[in-house]
Chain A
């Protein structure tokens, strides 16, 4: 349970979003508490990624989005990032021609910024990145790219990270590693909004879950609530 220690990290209220004329989100309400891992589940195309993009200021939206109590809806994407949100998009968006190290450098918002995380922290978490420090990001394997994009986001010292389908296309062992990694960064006080389709990892690491369907939240509860509700799983998640 989120114990509402103070204002939530992220509070989304009655969020509507649009791609051109098509209305994609129909009044989404959700929140992420401080230091909480919250999972946003749902099938493809129900609006999970759009929710993250709306928070990032990358799609037209109305409603209210508050980060640590501060209204961020309508701001520019780079300003929102500087308020303390890290965003890992579904396609990972590695800069393919730049080296691993350069990718990490770009995660830092300023050249001199001293955040919670250093290059050495990243290399300690993933020794593989150290080995491939001078390799172009584009030639890394899928799993390595996922590690790189997560680490790149951490270099920006966010308070909240939104991660879109980090486990897509990864081997089970790597999926487990990603889960461990998310638990590890939560220990450092970072809140996580995890967008997923795989029920297993969602039930495993998150404290609360939201289930989306047709641009709305159709279920909210703990992993146990969802485990015990076969009907809702069948209607909105299973294929």
Chain B
């Protein structure tokens, strides 16, 4: 019982963080048809910007300024980079974002060095929120949840309650028609790209000190975010939400489970040969692979993802 509740809380915290990243990615994809390989790079930029700002003026200004700064960088990259690449088709756009991912990482290494930086959790948020059974639940995880849920509500409100949200929703499926009705779709693209990268930046701000801020953090989270988007269905916000929580929970539960593969197969009535390499593996050891197994399974049995609209 204790294990389930704590793992669930951890899984949801991590899942919400994944959603902050994948929501931007999936919005950008469904509107512009661009799979932004550099998306996790903006997550990393958020963490480093927050580290830099917090070392000057403290954590709280960084929480606000760093995502905005990342969003501005993202919007500029869309306006003066991606938009030019767009004229040459999807391959050019993909290569552009692919190159951008490397560029971001190298720039981060040049400025902040190859090793991790000391981006600490602020003292006010360091400590125990509550103790459940015998496990402490840190304040900072609660804070991450609060920020994520707040972001979720704000995003939902923006998309469904405002005029610009209406235009964004329409442009998700039919950008040409929206533009023919007299709406400045190129500007909407820039705003969505900037907004999506700002969300990734925000995830970096609160994820960077919860985990580790280092130049490889983008690559580490980048592949998982793609799994989330594929599992949820390319272009589906709802799907990305469900998939984020699912993968967040799968990862936290499997890391903490010490049962072996043999036991799992025994549960479904399959006996593995004794003494083989595989039978001695534990679920914990398999944890990093599980999301990818899920993705491959989804691609085989339901290529459009859990809630995706298009086959691609």
Q: Which residues of A contact B (CB under 8 A)?
A: 56, 58, 76-78, 81-82, 87, 89, 93, 95-98, 102, 105-107, 109, 111, 152-153, 156
- Given contacts A58-B176, A89-B177, A93-B174, are A109 and B183 in contact (CB under 8 A)? yes
Q: Is the CB of A98 within 8 A of B169?
A: yes
Q: Is the CB of A105 within 8 A of B166?
A: yes
CB-contact partner of B179 in A77, A95, A97, A111, under 8 A: A77
- Given contacts A76-B186, A78-B185, A111-B163, are A95 and B180 in contact (CB under 8 A)? no
A-B contacts, CB under 8 A, total? 56
Count of chain B residues near A, Cβ 8 A: 18
Instruction: Give the shortest distance, in Å, between B183 (CB) and chain A (any CB).
Output: 6
Q: Which residues of chain A are near B185, meaning CB under 8 Å?
A: 77-78
CB-contact partner of A78 in B163, B174, B184, under 8 A: B184
Q: Which residues of chain B are near A82, meaning CB under 8 Å?
A: 182
Q: Which residues of chain A are near B174, meaning CB under 8 Å?
A: 93, 95
Instruction: Give the shortest distance, in Å, between A138 (CB) and chain B (any CB).
Output: 10
Beta-carbon nearest neighbor of A155 in chain B: B181
Q: Is the CB of A81 within 8 A of B180?
A: yes
Instruction: Give the shortest distance, in Å, between B17 (CB) and chain A (any CB).
Output: 28
- Does chain A have a CB within 8 A of B219? no
- Given contacts A58-B176, A95-B174, A97-B173, are A156 and B166 in contact (CB under 8 A)? no
CB-contact partner of B180 in A56, A96, A98, under 8 A: A56
CA distance A56 to B183 in the complex (A): 13
Beta-carbon nearest neighbor of A102 in chain B: B166
CA distance A156 to B183 in the complex (A): 10
CB-contact partner of B166 in A76, A96, A98, under 8 A: A98
CA distance A78 to B169 in the complex (A): 17
- Does chain A have a CB within 8 A of B73? no
